[in-house]
Structure formats: structure tokens, C-alpha cells
Amino acid sequence: MSLLEVRDVTVRFGGLTALSEVSVAVEPGTVHGIIGPNGAGKTTLFNVVCGFTRPASGSLLVRGVELRDHRPHHLARLGIARTLQGLGLFAHSSVLDNVLVGADRHASMGVWGSLIGRGEEAALRARAMAALESLGVAEWASALPGALPYGLRKRVALARALVAEPDLLMLDEPAAGLSEVEREELVALIRGLPMAVVLVEHHMDLVMSVCDRITVLNFGRVIATGSPEAVRADPDVAEAYLGAAS
Ligand SMILES: Nc1ncnc2c1ncn2[C@@H]1O[C@H](COP(=O)(O)OP(=O)(O)OP(=O)(O)O)[C@@H](O)[C@H]1O
Ligand SMILES: [Mg+2]
């Protein structure tokens, strides 16, 4: 059974069809890339999964169960975490407190549900610190995000998503604004993650090196889906990218 299934989803903005009967299946533990030229519908698809955008038709299934009235605040209990394009960090809260915001799934249920009071607080802090450590930014825990270079702030945003230990991590253009070295570090990091990842990304090289499967969108339609090798060799994909570049 797929962890996430997008089934025949159509999204319209007025007269514009941003997604047209798009289907994508994401398997547990895999990295699934969503690529396509500008305006192809990548962010729209991301927003549908995150509950920001309501499709005109089609359905979403998580672990085989169809979602009804899907909203952004349902994501945590579905075991889905996301980072957004940009950072979304609170400027006046410490790095550690920013990461703690992501831990509330555990605070209210699951592993941490049986813990109470100060013990719970301490355990959550330990989790958040562990997430920061795993991304190499623990030394910045008490700093304000603004004190960190952009690449490190991106890691803090990622730590916040990881601290909830989601089964699915949704990343929209995580490499935007990163240097080449930082991009390579990100590839290694994503490869090492235990959960499934949906990666919306412009950088073809990053997508090709990190993804198990790739879905290619063009003008709101799926034009190819398969392994990186298959997608790279697909003439429709080459044409879509060449057409967009000219
Ligand atoms: N809120 C909106 N209202 C109207 N049109 C929208 C809205 N959001 C997106 N669109 C349009 O829908 C289409 C798909 O946009 P989307 O942002 O999903 O593309 P994308 O693949 O993420 O592009 P990019 O690579 O530039 O990020 C575009 O034509 C865009 O102009
Ligand atoms: Mg986009």
C-alpha cells in the first residue's frame, strides 16, 4: 500500500487548470521527486497534499485511507511534516524554540503522550537538541535564527520538520538559495533520512542524484514517472525542459 496517493487531482484557478487529473503514488521510505518547468504545477501539487489548496476533483489517500476535508493542521496527526519555500522561522524565538514548535505531535500523542509536566518538557528539549545535532547546528541552539547564515537557517527549518519523526517529509525547493557545497550536503542528508520524502525541486542534478522515483509535470499534467534513469532518457521530458528554456 502506498504511503501517499494523489488520485486524479484537478485544480483550477479561475479559467486556468493548474493540475489536470494528476496521480502520484509515494511508497514508504522512498524519495519521490516532483519536477517540471516553471508553472508546471509543482507547488500547486505540494499545496494540495499540505491541505492549502482544495482540488476541484480527485482524491488524496494516506496509507490507503481517503482524506475528507483535508486541512494543514491535520498533517501532523497523519505523520506528515513539511518545510515551505523560504524558511518560516520565528525571528524572535531561539533556534531551539523554533524546533520545539515542530515537536507538538509528540507532545499530544504517541511516544510522548504518557509523559507529563517537567519531564515531558525536558524530553521534548532533548528531542529538539538531537534533531539540531543530527543536522550539525546544535551549537546555535540559543541563538536567534537571524544570527545564522542562510544555509544553516535552512537546516533549522528542516530540524523542525524532523523532530516530529514524520513518516513523510514534504520539501518544496529545499536547495533554493544554497551554495553548491551546501546542495551536496543536502543530498547526503536527504539520502540518510529514514522516512519517505517528497521533493519538489528545480535542480535536475539534485533530483537525479537523490530520488528513487520522479514524476515530471508539464502544464499541469504528468508527462513521465519512473526511475531517474528512465525519466532522464524520456524524450517528452527533454522536450518539456528544452521548450521551457528557449
Ligand atoms: N493562487 C493562484 N491563483 C492563480 N493562479 C495560480 C495560483 N497559484 C498558481 N497559479 C498558476 O498555476 C500554474 C501552476 O503554478 P505552480 O506555482 O504550481 O507552478 P510551479 O511548477 O511550482 O512553478 P515554479 O517552478 O515557478 O515554482 C501557473 O500557471 C501559476 O501561474
Ligand atoms: Mg513552485
Q: Residue 163 to residues 105, 148, 166: CA-CA distances in angstroms?
A: 9, 20, 8
Pocket lining: 42 vs ligand 1, CB cutoff 6 Å: yes
Output the pLDDT for position 112.
47
Specify the pairing of strand 221-226 against strand 213-218. antiparallel
Q: What is the pLDDT of residues 154-184, one digit of tens each?
A: 889 889 888 888 999 999 888 888 888 888 8
Q: Is 114 touching ligand 1 by the criterion CB < 6 Å? A: no
pLDDT at 110 over 50: no
Ligand 1 centroid to Cα of residue 73, in Å, is 23
Domains and CATH numbers, the chain: 1-79+166-246 (3.40.50.300), 89-165 (no CATH)
Ligand 1 contact via 41 beta carbon (within 6 Å): yes
Report the separation in Å between the CA atom of 114 and the middle of ligand 1, taken as the mean of its atom positions.
Answer: 43
User: For residue 100, what pLDDT band results from cuts at 50, 70 and 90?
Assistant: confident
What is residue 23's predicted lDDT score, i.e. its pLDDT? 98
Look over the chain and give the mean of its residue pLDDT values, rounded to a whole number: 88
Shortest-distance Cα residue to atom 31 of ligand 1: 39
The residue whose grid cell reads 547526503 is 188
Would you place residue 141 in the very low, low, confident or very high pLDDT band (cuts 50, 70, 90)?
very high
